[in-house]
Amino acid sequence: MNTGFSFLDYAIFTAYGLLIIAVGLWVSRNKKGESKTAQDYFLASKALPWWAIGASLIAANISAEQFIGMSGSGFAIGLGIASYEWMAAITLILVGKFFLPIFLEKKIYTMPQFLEKRFDNRVRTILAVFWLMVYIFVNLTSVLYLGALALNTILEIPLMYGIIGLALFAVIYSIYGGLSAVAWTDVIQVIFLIGGGLLTTYIALDAVGAGEGVISGAKVVFHSASEKFDMILSKDNPYFSDLPGIGVLVGGLWVANLYYWGFNQYIIQRALAAKSIREAQRGVIFAGYLKILIPFIVVIPGIAAHVIVGNPELLASLGNGIAENIPSVEHADKAYPWLLSLLPYGFKGLAFAALTAAIVSSLASMLNSTSTIFTMDIYSQLVKKESSDKKQIAIGRISAIVALAIAVFIAPQLKNLDQAFQYIQEYTGMVSPGILAIFLIGLFWKKGTANAALWGAVLTLPVAMFFKFVFVEMPFLNQMGYSFLVVLFVMILISRLETKEADPKGIILSKSLFETGTKFNVFAIGITTIVTVLYILFW
């Protein structure tokens, strides 16, 4: 499907691309007479304010897997998929209050580095390898594939060309400048991302309402597809295995969210680069409010597309070409790119820039964190411990390029997927239960031992594979929950068998460590209230 881009659309998109590259290169420049240190490159000189942290968190998080994948899940499943976003907003409160104070006190670069401080180098190395594998073979590949799928659907750009083009765009500014380039361009990216996303939602709902406005369209969508507005799916729902009813609220989704927002390097790295703990905490609260907004710009358009496709008269009224290449349950990930064909000239370029912003910002974030983990946790620990800042930065850039090249090669193999968002969650979920158990023991139980953490790391994949292939009918979110409990139990058992005493490396916790400011507390209550009301409304 070619959406008929005009000269204005191409001009807007080109201006966006040039702006991002220019800002990225500008913030990456060396100050006169100075050269970059490892802290400058990997932690943005520890100078990020709260609003940059919050914006960068969302830009890193929201990618093709949300715009394309989650919109596709909205088309197929409905609003229930928004649990990933709304529960994440609550998770960010927990991260800000209980996790960040410890991480920032330890002055770490990476999550594996924390594991060495708390346990030992064996645990650090194993988890570093885990993360590198997940980032390269799941995250980078899926983002490249979904982004290229959008380019193919919208502009008929061949899939491989789209993958290479997105990779080069991310490389141009992010690999040279490090986290500074990524974080500061993310502030611009998130403006395009939110603005363009809201524009697409507006146009989609207006189209459903036959030009009578967004409110009218929203009413039509709700009444025409009321079954798509169930947050808690019943057992007879065909997608119960993806979102297992009340288990979403009390089960494995907490494992996914706590792992992702609390211990995932390419997310938490922004908070590690904060000016202070207060700036980091305010940043995650800001991100929490943006997370509440996300379903309205990615899930609702997917549901609107479902309504349009299911109404032949409405479909015909939208003009020639709209009925071509329409999304279906079998190809739900085409929903969002297809919706862009509804946009008027000029706005298509803006919406396409928003989609590209989501893709490229996530690619840049993943590349930066991949290079950080490889440099700090593999090269500087196992290859050359006494390396200069200049050497570390060079290794970081080389490792990012190698990781991206591998992802570019693998990405086309994902073309047989239906809902790529579910693929990402499921395969990331094979490592997240064990990692979460290790970190929770490390943070909050002084008697947890290094050997217990090592066994937790070793058992993570086997336990996940056991549940996946033995309990085939069990929803994967439930599999994640049970995997977490099994690994946690084994770690506690091993720790208790080894010693009754507190581990010398155990974290000393105090009430003052977890004190938060008035602003954090007030805005945290606000997030909790909004999310509670949303669940009550759409139960």
Q: What is the pLDDT along the chain (539 residues), one digit of tens a residue?
A: 445 678 888 888 888 888 888 888 887 776 665 667 778 777 777 888 999 999 989 988 887 667 777 888 888 888 999 999 999 999 999 999 999 999 999 888 889 999 999 999 999 999 899 889 888 988 888 888 878 877 777 777 888 999 999 898 888 877 777 778 888 888 888 888 888 888 888 888 888 887 777 888 889 888 888 888 989 988 888 888 888 888 888 888 899 899 999 998 888 888 888 989 999 999 999 999 999 999 998 899 889 888 888 777 777 777 656 666 677 766 777 787 778 777 777 788 887 787 787 788 888 888 888 998 999 899 888 887 777 888 888 898 899 999 999 999 988 887 765 555 556 666 777 888 999 999 999 999 999 999 999 999 999 889 999 998 898 888 888 999 999 999 999 999 999 999 888 888 889 888 888 989 899 999 999 999 999 999 999 88
Integer Cα distance of 17 and 114 in angstroms: 37
Task: Provide the β-strand partners of residue 274.
Answer: 48
pTM score above 0.95:
no
Surface-to-core class of residue 382, CB atoms within 10 Å of its CB (0-12 exposed, 13-18 middle, 19+ buried)? exposed
Q: What is the CA radius of gyration of the chain?
A: 23
Count of CB atoms within 10 A of residue 157's CB? 15
User: Does residue 107 come out as left (phi exceeding 0), alpha (psi in the -120 to 50 range) or beta?
Assistant: left
pLDDT for residue 29? 72
Count of CB atoms within 10 A of residue 512's CB? 7
CB 113 within 8 A of CB 376: yes
SS3 504: coil
Helix/strand/coil (H, E, C) string of 339-351? HHHHCCCCHHHHH
Q: What tokens were used for 491?
A: 């770690």
pLDDT for residue 417? 58
Burial 256-269 (b: 16+ CB within 10 A, else e): bbbbbbbbbbbbbb
pLDDT for residue 420? 56
pLDDT for residue 418? 54
Integer Cα distance of 361 and 185 in angstroms: 8
H helices of 310-382, where?
312-317, 335-339, 347-373
Give the Å distances, CA to CA, from 125 to 22, 132, 252, 314: 37, 11, 26, 57
Residues 6+ apart with CB under 8 A from 68: 146, 147, 149, 150, 333, 336, 337, 355, 420
Q: What tokens were used for 38?
A: 């490892």
Place of tokens 């938060």: 516
Of 167, 124, 154, the C-alpha closest to 367 is 167
User: What φ, ψ does residue 48 adopt, rounded to 5°?
Assistant: -80, 130
Please give the torsion angle defined by the CA atoms of residues 200, 201, 202 and 205, in that order, rounded to the nearest 10 degrees: 120
Residue 274: DSSP 8-state? B
Count of CB atoms within 10 A of residue 511's CB? 6
Q: What tokens were used for 437?
A: 């158990």
Report which secondary-structure segment, H or E, holds 188. Answer: helix 179-208
pLDDT for residue 3? 53
Q: What tokens were used for 191?
A: 């403006």
pLDDT for residue 360? 83
